[in-house]
Amino acid sequence: MAFLVFFSTMSFTVNMHYCGDVLVEMAIFKKAKGCGMEMQNPSTDSCSVSKKNCCSDEQSVVNGQDELKLPIDQLSFEQQQFVVSFIHAYLDSFEGFNKNTNVYKAYKPPLVVRQIYKLDETYLI
Query: What are the residue ranges spanned by the domains of the chain?
Result: 2-39+51-62
Are 56 and 18 spatial neighbours (Cβ–Cβ below 8 Å)?
Answer: yes
Which range (17-21, 35-39, 65-69, 91-95) has the least confidence?
A: 35-39
Residue 4 has pLDDT above 60, yes or no: yes
pLDDT digits (tens, 9 = 90+) for 78-115: 988 998 999 998 887 777 766 777 777 788 877 877 77
pLDDT of residue 49: 52
pLDDT at res. 82: 92
Q: For residues 73 and 70, give the distance between their C-alpha atoms in angstroms, rounded to a whole number.
A: 9
Cα→Cα distances 94→8, 14, 55, 88, Å: 28, 43, 60, 11
What percentage of residues in the chain have a pLDDT greater than 90? Answer: 6
